[in-house]
Amino acid sequence: MPICGALSKTNRLIRRSVRLGRSGVFMLDLASSFDLFSLHTLAQAAAEPSTFLGFELSPKFWAYSAFLALVLAFLALDLFVFHRDAHEVAMKEAITWSVIWLTCGIAFAGFVYVAYERHWLNLGLTTPIYNPSPGAAHDVIITGTVDGLTAAKQYLTGYIVEKSLAMDNIFVIALVFAFFAVPAKYQHRVLFWGIIGALVMRGGMIFLGSALIMKYQWILIVFGAFLVLTAIKMALIKGHDDPSQNWAVRLCKRFLPFVDFYDGQKFFTKRTLPPTYSPDPKTGKLVQDPPPPGSLRAAWAITPLFLALLIVEITDLVFAVDSIPAIFAITPDPFIVFTSNIFAILGLRALYFCLAALITKFRFLKPALILILAFVGVKLLLMSVPPYLDVIGNWFAQDWRPASSIKISTTASLLAVLGTLAMATVLSVMWPKKVA
């Protein structure tokens, strides 16, 4: 079978190209050992119809599978190689990983360009796109062909929008870690498992949202209105809620066994007494002492580290409700929406360790995020409301006629988002926040 031969060759090339260094940097030497011809051959082979347990699998299924495999490989390297032992993430390490994730996220736009231009795994074929001139049939979204340049611009715009909206998430994470007094060396573990939960939640929300807008296209109006209202709410309401008053935290403390001390980097413990530590005679590092006899409980209890993880997961869910409709304003293509969203949050952990202490100095960042949310909300409304003017008119007993969508191009959207972020950065440097 052609796909087996391509996979075998690809596997050998990848094994040769992966190099792991002590600094925690891994490189893929694509230029010398992994050629586009091999990838193209693999994509062509996978584009042939295939079945699994009697179900026919779409070629795009393999595109999603390959992307998820890549993400899982990144996460496995992160957890089991570079962060096997809990340690405080230094600024140098955080900057290094931020650069790596940012490079991977931007470089993926190159893959998107080539894949859509050559229609690997049918990417770009029969793809959901916004109709440039929908009529009375309310066909805001149709299926068509997307070229590589258009797809790459959509991906980059979505990636930057999601990355910028994730900045506000850092405020909340810093607040949660401070409230629970999470030791610095355990914060990466909380964020890592938080990312795993975010992958599952956001993936489900993206594919559910994609299915809904394809079947009920008027939902785009709801998305646009929700984004505008969220921007107004962010502008009017200041500060964040007290984590101790979160409903999930109160439920856990009420119905589950709970301890108020940390048991290393464990989310659950059977200890009833805080652990003690002694230096290892061989390494000199502090190691946890065995629990005193008779001090273990029968049932597991949750630790403050679990509560911190729970709040981080809930926080990401809340932000996902805002950010996912925002990227649907850029494109209805689920592959672009999914990949740009995932790459944006993959680098959130390293970005947190870089910016947690500095982000409060960017006093104009939050106003910039409010403007970006409002912009994408208005963009979505301009595109979705005109074709439904006849329906909206009926609600008010008016005889309105449907009109063509007012579209803001992807290039204009990308420039608007980048310009807003650049202006916020410049203004924050020129007029820094005064220290009381």
> Does an H or E element contain 118, and which?
helix 91-118
Tell me the C-alpha distance between 423 and 421, whole Å: 5
What is the residue extent of each domain of the chain?
47-247+305-430
Give the pLDDT score at 169.
80
Tell me the C-alpha distance between 271 and 293, whole Å: 11
pLDDT in tens, 213-259: 989 999 999 999 999 998 998 888 765 556 767 777 888 888 889 99
Q: Extract the tokens encoding 422.
A: 């650049």
Give the pLDDT score at 322.
79
Side chain identity at residue 288, one-letter code: Q
> Does an H or E element contain 300, and which?
strand 296-302
Give the pLDDT score at 397.
83
Tell me the C-alpha distance between 262 and 413, whole Å: 46
> Does an H or E element contain 269, and which?
strand 268-271
Give the pLDDT score at 350.
83
Contact 47, 121 (CB under 8 A): yes
E strands of 9-118, at which residues?
A: 18-20, 26-28, 50-52, 55-57
Contact 122, 59 (CB under 8 A): yes
Q: CA-based angle 360:341:382, to the nearest 5?
A: 90
| Long-range contacts of 32-41, Cβ-Cβ distance < 8 Å, separation of 24 or more | 34/10, 36/114, 38/6, 38/9, 38/10, 38/13, 39/10, 39/120, 40/118, 40/120, 41/2, 41/6
What is the residue whose two structure tokens read 């108020």?
260
Positive or negative, the CA dihedral 100, 101, 105, 108 is: positive
Give the pLDDT score at 363.
81
What pTM was computed for the model? Answer: 0.82
Low-confidence ranges of the chain (pLDDT < 70): 1-56, 134-137, 238-242, 244, 357-360, 434-436
Give the pLDDT score at 4.
46
Tell me the C-alpha distance between 108 and 434, whole Å: 40
Q: Extract the tokens encoding 207.
A: 């594919």
Give the pLDDT score at 263.
94
